[in-house]
Amino acid sequence: MKSERRRPVRSGLWLALAASVAIGTAGLDAVTEAAKAQVSRATEQDIEAANPAFQGLLRGQRTTIDTSKNREARGGPGGPPAAFPGGPGGPAVPNPSRDPRDFSGNWTGGGENGAPGAKIVEKRPGWVATTTLDGQRMLFVDLGVTPTGGHIYQNKNELVFVRSTELRARRIYFTDHHTPGAVPTYNGDSIAHWEGNTLVVDTIAIKGMIAKLDNDLEHGLHHLLMARPTLHVVERITKSADGETLTDVETWDDPASGKPPVVTTTVFHYAADAPAYDSEYEDGGDLFGPGYGTGFK
Amino acid sequence: MMRSMIKTTVACAALLAAAHPAWAEADLEGVWKIATPTPALLTDQGTLPPLTKAGLEIYNQNQAAIAKGDRRSWDPVAKCKPPGEPRTYTEMNWPFELFQSKDRIDFLFQWNRLDRAIPIMDKQIDDPDEPFYFGQSVAQWDGNVLKVEVENIKPNTFLDDAGLPHSDDLTIDETWRLRDPDTLVGTFHFVDPTIYSSPWDATLVFKRQPAGTRVLEDSCTDRTNSNDYATIDNSLVK
């Protein structure tokens, strides 16, 4: 029996989750209130000085655009809007490729399958703003360890993983050598090769703080790994025979930590490719600084 | 002679078939970069777009701010917000990588690692309750031309670095096609009665980058040292 296709998790939940973990408190509601309390919005003087085009946004008003008006003006197709692929009335979701070396398509993870094997590596007492916003954001979304999944494109040169949470890409190149003198980046320098039908991804030169989340939201962030220049991550990714799942077994090894490597597993499920948009995460940064967009509501 | 021609034709057809997937009308994939730096978007006639009085007022404010070296008071990009559509294609003259599948097109920009994802569908999905930096787009193939309809664009974005404004009425009809294997052409038809007195058109041309060109990881907040976004009240940290 064919398994039910999953729709990607909308990113709002993950934004709230990010806030929860960033502030290091338990309970989403309480965290959100705490987060709201430290959002500093633009002053009235700022707003007066701003262009009328976005004064409303600066005032924290959520702008809703009547797109039906635009469609009528364009003379485009009328009638009800399109339905999500795989959803009620929507187009069918194509079956996943059975090619064990073809990872292309849309994948979701998380829930009961999100990194169940994660172990505490380095429990830090607090969460200090020593990194930039990107560093903070990378905590949750980079290095492909997010359990939220995304879209994979694959060609002979590279495999690109576009995350569904904030539409940013991680690139993995099919080559046998790392970039000489690779400058540390949030995604690191990732190279890959095939061992049979297993894709082996080797990543070095990772910067910032990287987290492993488990499903235990009640206790917040437990699986935190501080990326040092010595951090080395090896992923072994295999596709199931029916093409429905990708299993990513990640080995996190930081010799400088003096601790044994950590092995975690993330399972991704082939899913309907729902349209993905950009803004929730972009404005999530307002949590940390001057309110500039819609931010938290 | 005839047999040779047939062989050649078959071989060419096979090569073309291998060049792009059967479901796509054209293979646009690759790493592209704007052919000519375009800090200010002009019409196809080389003129300033036809701004209304309201539009001109905003544009002049922005121009005056730029002249004073001030972007932070008006330009969301100065705070690392996405440049929007179509400005992102011209930002920093940096490359983007284009991927396509049967159901989706992705423009993966170097600028702050942004992605513009466009579903290939015949109509818009009535889903969002808020506008987006890249707007809400759908695409369809028309022969070798990818046609994209864009609406629901965040009104705090600008169309170019020079501060061309728009309202929430803006719609953009785009086409994307190959002029030749190494040249990608994007056309943009702007309709926004609040800010522009008539529809207008602009064209951006992109050159394919050499094989092996990588789109690097860019972090806007790191690049601009925008640490003000990273200030957390540590009293909230347990």
Are A65 and B232 inside 8 Å of each other by CB?
no
Q: What is the per-residue pLDDT for B122?
A: 74
Q: What is the per-residue pLDDT for A133?
A: 32
CA–CA distance, A22 with A213 (Å, rounded to integer): 12
Closest among A178, A91, A292, A16 to B81, alpha carbons compared: A292
Q: What are phi and psi of A61, to 5 degrees?
A: -85, 130
DSSP bridge partners of B140 = B147
Cβ-based contacts under 8 A for chains A and B: 212
Are A169 and B227 inside 8 Å of each other by CB?
no
- Cα A155 to Cα A160, A171, B32, B146: the distances in Å are 9, 11, 17, 21
Q: What is the per-residue pLDDT for B170?
A: 94
Q: What are phi and psi of B140, to 5 degrees?
A: -145, 150
Q: What are phi and psi of B106, to 5 degrees?
A: -130, 130
**Using a CB-CB distance cutoff of 8 angstroms, which residues of chain B are in contact with residue A162?**
106, 108, 115, 117
CA–CA distance, A164 with A8 (Å, rounded to integer): 7
Which residue, chain included where needed, has tokens 């777009």? B49
Closest among B71, B216, B226, B190 to A173, alpha carbons compared: B216
Q: Which amino acid is at B23?
A: W
CA–CA distance, B224 with B132 (Å, rounded to integer): 23
Closest among A137, A161, A147 to A15, alpha carbons compared: A137
Report the pLDDT averaged over residues B28-33: 97
Q: Provide the whole-model pTM.
A: 0.75
- Nearest CB among A23, A50, A76 relative to B73 is that of A50
CA–CA distance, B28 with B181 (Å, rounded to integer): 9
DSSP bridge partners of A188 = none
Q: What is the per-residue pLDDT for A278?
A: 67
Q: What is the per-residue pLDDT for A167?
A: 66
Q: What is the per-residue pLDDT for A90?
A: 59
Q: Which two tokens stand for residue B183?
A: 């040249």
Q: A162 burial class (0-12, 13-18, 19+ CB within 10 angstroms)?
A: buried
Task: Please check whether residue A49 touches B, CB under 8 A.
Answer: yes
Which residue, chain included where needed, has tokens 């800090």? B39
Q: What is the per-residue pLDDT for A26?
A: 29
CA–CA distance, B201 with B210 (Å, rounded to integer): 29
Better-scored residue on pLDDT, A149 or B45? B45
Q: A176 burial class (0-12, 13-18, 19+ CB within 10 angstroms)?
A: exposed
Q: Judge contact between B71 and B80, C-beta under 8 A.
A: no
Task: Find the range with the poorest average confidence among A106-115, A286-295, B36-45, B136-145.
Answer: A286-295
Q: Which two tokens stand for residue A195?
A: 């061992």
Q: What is the per-residue pLDDT for A93?
A: 63
**Cα angle, residue A134 at apex, residues A129 and A139 outer, rounded to 5°:** 75
Task: Please check whether residue A97 touches B, CB under 8 A.
Answer: no
| Range 3-62 of B in CB contact (< 8 A) with A | 29, 54, 58, 61-62
DSSP bridge partners of B67 = none
Task: Please check whether residue A84 touches B, CB under 8 A.
Answer: yes
- DSSP helix/strand/coil, A120: coil
* pLDDT tens per residue across all 297 residues of chain A: 333 443 333 333 333 333 333 333 222 233 233 333 322 334 555 455 554 544 454 444 434 455 555 555 555 444 445 555 555 555 566 678 889 999 998 887 643 333 332 322 333 333 222 233 333 333 333 343 444 567 899 999 999 988 766 667 889 999 999 999 998 887 889 999 999 999 999 988 877 655 444 333 333 333 444 566 788 888 899 999 999 888 888 787 778 767 777 776 777 888 776 666 665 556 654 443 333 332 222
Q: How many CB atoms lie within 10 A of CB A121?
A: 22
